[in-house]
Structure 1
Amino acid sequence: MAEKAIGLDYAVSAAEPLLDVISLHKQFPVYSPFGKIFGAKAFVHAVSDVSFQLYEGETYGLVGESGSGKSTIGRTILGLTPASSGQVLYKKQDLAAMRKGDLRKFRKDIQMVFQDPFSSLNPRKRIGAILEEALIIHNQGNQVERQEAVFRILQTVGLQAEHYFRFPHEFSGGQRQRLGLARALIMNPKIIVCDEPVSALDVSIQSQILNLLKQLQRDLKLTLLFITHDISVVRYISDRIGIMYLGKIVEEAATDQLFSNPVHPYTKSLFSAVPGFSGKKLKERIILKGEIPSPLSPPSGCVFHTRCPYATERCKTEVPGLTNIASNHKAACHLIST
């Protein structure tokens, strides 16, 4: 990991990002029991002013509790959920501003692996038909060529040619997630968004899928956005990590740097809950008080100030920006000196 981090420092500082998310916002309207007649009575602030870059060949991990907005970011990048505002630049093309017809030609370059592989596979179709569907939509090859492509991708993810003729219910959870990977890879994408791809699997199967992802990344030169709530998983697979809380990124750093020196109070509290964690500045368990505020009415100022043990009056009124702590290390906290 250390050698990889050194190479990544150069890539981050010198290369253009393959994907650049700029000031992304997403609000979901909440309507009254009478429906949309009287308009939205409130908005759920799922993602608020999120910015990050994804560089070619790296794995960027998004970590946060349930409801922090990380999955919404992944779906917004792919256009499955339209952004309220902000930009999603892929090779300098703004995907968030494109119409569906224009966005279709970029879909083959950015694919998604969903959390629940069974619900994302049509139970009425055989695996061959499911995997060929994307090739048909994008007019790729004839019937024989599409079938050969499916056989190749099944072998790539560790399955057999005979699985082409089976239905989704005939597979185990780990095999279904391999099928999810196969469907994402069938169009030779540049970026794969992995939305909690191992959270529903047994620990032993998790390691197999993670190792497969790392192998595929090397062999196919993939770039990964890895979304998870599991600290140990994101530490194993990611080059850089963004920590999310209530729709915002509160800290971002290279993996080794983040785990050796977490600086944001929320990051410290997350890491202190991991058994055996030996962060440089963590000597005791940090237990947060209270509950996560509702995204319907997020707190003013720093969104973490209602639970932060170090909050000041400034934290209640002024929104902190991501401040450079060191090379490739940022945090959004008023108590961190520049």
Structure 2
Amino acid sequence: MESSFPALGLAAWAQLQAKAGCTLCWGAQGTASSHQPLLELFLQDHHSLGMFTVSPCSGSIGPWGQQEIRVECLAGQEGTCEEQLSIDITGRDPKDNPLGIAFTLIAQSCLPAFIEDVTLIFEEYPICSSTNLEHKLQSVEGTGLYVRDEKRFIFSKVQVGQEAEAHFNIYNASCLPCNVVLSIKPLPGEEQSLINSIFKLHPLKMSVPGSSYAVATVTFIPPEEQNYTCIFRASLVIPKGCVEMKPQSLSFTISGKGQEPQLAVVCPSFPYGWSWLEADGMRAGHQPEVKLLKWCCVWRWQACEDSKRACNHWG
């Protein structure tokens, strides 16, 4: 028989059930109990082996009755623990499992943690270096991009007063669920209230399932045509009593600039001069005729002296 515990945090327990029609006595088989007399086990109310504690160690079961065996697991260091136990029934056939009915307990202990791989965190966005940043900013089509060597996410092409959203994935590196606290902080010397009105974060807390991920959303609302910067931080919540766990946090800079629409008027140019339309004020609903004027530069008149045909064409 074999029983596998799921990944454990500080403590966990499992319940085992045994059914028989005679006296039941279960002892331990392994390094921790191989030299322990069966009578001594019979007199104990519990037995500890590795990170497991089994109770009771012995008992009697009436006909068609059942006995609940409680197994507690107190996780210690990270890793997998496997222990071999045996169940011995008095008066049974000694040829059948002479060392007892084997029973295996397996448990895996681990600490919560999240992945710091930027290719997973910024899965939706291009990742570049500062050497080709200007080219990337001009060609990027989405909300923004991440600059690896600067640890900075940049919102791109956001109009003043408009909203732009960025999504960051927080991946859980262990099979245990973990709690994460999110925050946005201003740069040193800047006001927190001003940053909170420009960068909005949701959610502020999240529980990430084991071997899965959750999404943090940052909304950028630039009030003016200028640059804005803040610091994003995700901090892992350390469970109570977990003294061996080191604090873990993920942080990077978020920046963006408000943009105003701009219109550039470029006069059309032609190989042989300028052309334009000249019109007076017009009444709504009317379609006045406009005379097309042609004008040639001095250099064109000089060219006409050498080319009568061209001069006649433009004259």
Q: What is the TM-score normalised by the length of structure 1?
A: 0.23
Greater per-residue strand proportion: 2
Structure with bigger RCO (C-alpha 8 Å, 6+ apart)? 1
Name the larger-Rg structure: 2
Structure number with higher helix proportion: 1
Calculate the TM-score normalised by the size of structure 2. Answer: 0.24
